């Protein structure tokens, strides 16, 4: 059985994942409900390929779950046999089979992760990247009046969340819940990485730092609400960047950096802390360089 899993069955699923998830816009929910509008055959073929890809991800997830269940059941049998007279030989064979099953399970999980990664890269990230890149063109060196305007008409994060929501909800129904959570997790990683890059291209005053802190809290709050997995850790570096950008004075960093200040574990190096501080237009470089970090 393990040989069939590791050769024929794996080969079929591997081929479907290798074909990838076709790009472009489409109502995935409509595809699964058989509500495709009449159009070119190529559109129908693309829709069928998308549906097949998502079904393959779900099949991979079910396969991994079933292998784990089989392994648990065989573990119980091995334990029973080992206590019976003459059962050691059979138990040894089962243990060998269990080892093979574990290896096969790893192969399928890696394939599933690859498929979810492809889905994120093709169907979600390209829609988010232009909006995240646009952060650096939004003024974060702002007055109190501008801060009040941003309070009513947010220039960045609400649009990002709206696009993120429409992109992810497309897959919430068709995907198994664990696969959907995996997709959200992968997208979260990419959002955090992209945001770090655009932050370094921006300039802030304290109100701008406070605005970024609010934007980040809104984004993390949304992502936390839509998945069962923990995502806050992925934003730990960005949260610390926001803390720095929201400080009243350069020396305030020592209240956080000092080992006696509490259990905070810094994800930023001293060099990175100084680099973030230079983004504050009202912080003097000589004061930043004098810090004992």
- pLDDT digits 0-9 by tens, 170-189: 999 999 999 999 999 999 99
Backbone torsions φ then ψ of 83, nearest 5 degrees: -95, -5
Positive or negative torsion for Cα 273, 279, 282, 285: positive
- pLDDT digits 0-9 by tens, 106-159: 889 999 999 999 999 999 999 999 999 999 999 999 999 999 999 999 889 999
Mind listing the domains of the chain with CATH numbers? Answer: 1-114 (1.10.287.1060), 138-290 (1.20.58.1970)
| 136 sits in which H/E element | none
Q: Are 277 and 250 in contact (CB under 8 A)?
A: yes
Residue 233 has pLDDT above 90, yes or no: yes
Q: Are 123 and 171 in contact (CB under 8 A)?
A: yes
pLDDT of residue 118: 96
Band of the pLDDT at 39, cuts 50, 70, 90? very low
**Residues written for the chain:** 293
């Amino acid at each position: 059985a393990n040989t069939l899993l590791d050769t024929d069955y794996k080969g079929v699923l591997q081929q479907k994942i290798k074909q990838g998830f076709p790009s472009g816009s489409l109502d995935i929910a409509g595809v699964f409900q058989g509500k495709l509008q009449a159009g070119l055959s190529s559109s129908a073929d693309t829709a069928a390929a998308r549906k097949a890809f998502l079904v393959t991800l779900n099949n991979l997830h079910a396969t991994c779950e079933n292998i784990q269940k089989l392994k648990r059941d065989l573990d119980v049998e091995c334990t029973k046999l080992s206590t019976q007279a003459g059962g050691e030989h059979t138990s040894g064979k089962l243990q060998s089979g269990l080892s093979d099953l574990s290896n096969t399970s790893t192969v399928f999980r890696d394939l599933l992760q690859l498929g979810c990664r492809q889905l994120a890269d093709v169907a979600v990230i390209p829609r988010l990247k232009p909006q995240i890149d646009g952060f650096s063109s939004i003024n974060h060196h702002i007055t109190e009046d501008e801060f009040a305007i941003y309070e009513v008409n947010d220039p960045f994060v609400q649009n990002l969340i709206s696009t993120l929501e429409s992109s992810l909800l497309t897959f919430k129904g068709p995907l198994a819940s664990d696969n959907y959570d995996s997709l959200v997790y992968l997208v979260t990683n990419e959002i955090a990485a992209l945001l770090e890059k655009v932050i370094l291209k921006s300039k802030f005053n304290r109100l701008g730092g406070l605005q970024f802190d609010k934007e980040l809290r809104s984004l993390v709050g949304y992502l936390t609400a839509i998945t069962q997995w923990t995502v806050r850790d992925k934003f730990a570096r960005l949260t610390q960047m926001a803390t720095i950008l929201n400080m009243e004075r350069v020396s305030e960093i020592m209240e956080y950096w000092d080992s006696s200040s509490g259990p905070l574990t810094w994800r930023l190096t001293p060099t990175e802390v100084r680099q973030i501080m230079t983004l504050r237009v009202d912080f003097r470089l000589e004061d930043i360089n004098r810090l004992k970090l």
